[in-house]
């Protein structure tokens, strides 16, 4: 089985995908994959083979069948793992929704817009209050309601106080990769018994609220001002700031890893969503500005 078919089987969770004809279109109308699934497939191909399957010089339509993607991947030199090409965009242009456009949401929206993605920002007071931010972010940004931002995003960053999680509407997040950047601070968020007892993580709380979303935890460990200063897409991997990333969905992690790489940071796998307490406030990695190896060591040192 070719590498692409093996990955397709894994992404679809269906062994029959191994036997689909070469000329089966990937996009809607053929295999009938939704664009979000194609994005997952391309991200997984990139993560597993190192081949940039959706670089700027490439027309996505030319990869529209299984056979053409196969041939493309087979014809490209495999980039050694752990050796990202400095300053190079590796993912296709995505739409990133932001629920919360304050310190964290506004900063990440700026970084991702600068990396070439379309960003849709929202807050609690309505899009008209975000005109200034949208102006500063430039032509790749627009403001919307929370529901619209969640619906628009291939990936949706949730950067609101944890106390606001119960107010989020579940439906528009269904099927989305959702990145939880929140931290629980009882003085701000009010007491939440499940978090105080350690029975749950704040990311778990969000996942319960958004049951059909593919929730990851990331960007919560770093101050937003430092985040902006430490992003350097031209820096080699060893000099980059590590971003711990927890979650249960490997394909979603591959997509986020790529986005983090594009803005000049390095994602570090911090385990499952249930283990995301290892990066919550008070843990060794929380607030630590460290590289990937150091972050991995600090995550392992965390105690409950």
Is residue 182 within the footprint of ligand NAP (CB under 6 A)?
Answer: yes
Provide, rounded to whole angstroms, the least separation between the CB of residue 132 and ligand NAP.
12
Provide, rounded to whole angstroms, the least separation between the CB of residue 303 and ligand NAP.
22
CA atoms within 13 A on the CB side of 28: 3
One residue of 4, 159, 218, 259 binding ligand NAP per CB under 6 A: 159
Name 217's bridge partners.
180, 246
As given in the structure block, the two tokens for residue 139 are: 């032509």
One residue of 28, 35, 62, 124 binding ligand NAP per CB under 6 A: 124
The interface region with ligand NAP, picked from 43-51, 121-129, 169-177, 237-245 by CB under 6 A, is 121-129
Is residue 181 within the footprint of ligand NAP (CB under 6 A)?
Answer: yes
Contacts of the segment 273-276: beta carbons below 8 A, 24+ positions apart: 273/201, 273/203, 273/204, 273/207, 273/215, 273/216, 273/217, 273/246, 273/247, 273/248, 274/201, 274/204, 275/246, 276/201, 276/202, 276/203, 276/204, 276/217, 276/246, 276/247
Interacting residues with ligand NAP between 71 and 100 (CB under 6 A): 99-100
DSSP state of 241: P
- Sign of torsion over alpha carbons 274, 278, 279, 281: positive
One residue of 101, 245, 251, 255 binding ligand NAP per CB under 6 A: 101
**216 near 246, Cβ under 8 Å?**
yes
Residue 114: exposed, middle, or buried by beta-carbon count in 10 A (0-12, 13-18, 19+)?
middle
* Helices and strands (H, E) in the chain, number of each type: 12, 8
One residue of 2, 68, 147, 224 binding ligand NAP per CB under 6 A: 224
**251 near 154, Cβ under 8 Å?**
no
Pick the closer one to ligand NAP by CB: 71 or 164.
164
Is residue 25 within the footprint of ligand NAP (CB under 6 A)?
Answer: no
One residue of 160, 245, 246, 265 binding ligand NAP per CB under 6 A: 160
Name 214's bridge partners.
177
Count, residues near ligand NAP per rule CB under 6 A: 24
Pick the closer one to ligand NAP by CB: 45 or 227.
227
One residue of 49, 183, 257, 266 binding ligand NAP per CB under 6 A: 183
Binding mask 127-146 for ligand NAP (x = CB under 6 A): -------------------x
Is residue 104 within the footprint of ligand NAP (CB under 6 A)?
Answer: yes
Number of residue whose CB is nearest ligand NAP: 102
Footprint of ligand NAP (CB under 6 A) = 99-105, 123-125, 146, 159-162, 164, 167, 181-183, 185, 220, 223-224
């Amino acid at each position: 089985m070719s590498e692409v078919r093996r990955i397709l089987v894994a992404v679809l969770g269906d062994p029959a995908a191994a036997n689909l004809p070469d000329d089966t279109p990937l996009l809607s109308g053929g295999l009938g994959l939704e664009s979000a699934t194609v994005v997952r497939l391309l991200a997984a191909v990139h993560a597993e083979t190192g081949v940039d399957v959706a670089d700027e010089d490439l027309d996505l339509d030319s990869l529209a069948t299984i056979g053409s993607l196969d041939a493309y991947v087979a014809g490209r030199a495999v980039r050694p793992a752990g050796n990202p090409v400095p300053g190079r965009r590796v993912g296709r242009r995505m739409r990133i929704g932001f629920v919360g456009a304050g310190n964290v949401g506004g900063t990440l929206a700026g970084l991702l817009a600068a990396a070439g993605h379309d960003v849709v920002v929202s807050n609690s007071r309505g899009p008209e209050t975000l005109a200034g931010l949208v102006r500063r972010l430039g032509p790749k940004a627009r403001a919307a309601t929370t529901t619209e931002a969640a619906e628009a995003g291939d990936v949706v960053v949730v950067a609101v106080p944890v106390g606001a999680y119960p107010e989020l509407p579940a439906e528009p997040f269904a099927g989305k990769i959702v990145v939880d950047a929140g931290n629980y601070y009882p003085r701000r968020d009010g007491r939440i018994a499940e978090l105080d007892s350690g029975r749950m993580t704040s990311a778990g709380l969000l996942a319960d609220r958004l049951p059909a979303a593919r929730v990851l935890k990331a960007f919560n460990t770093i101050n937003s001002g430092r985040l902006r200063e430490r992003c350097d897409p031209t820096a080699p991997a060893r000099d980059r700031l590590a971003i711990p990333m927890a979650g249960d969905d490997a394909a979603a992690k591959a997509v986020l890893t790529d986005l983090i790489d594009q803005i000049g940071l390095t994602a570090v796998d911090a385990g499952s969503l249930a283990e995301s307490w290892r990066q919550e406030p008070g843990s060794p990695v929380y607030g630590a500005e460290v590289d990937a190896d150091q972050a991995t060591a600090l995550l392992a040192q965390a105690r409950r």
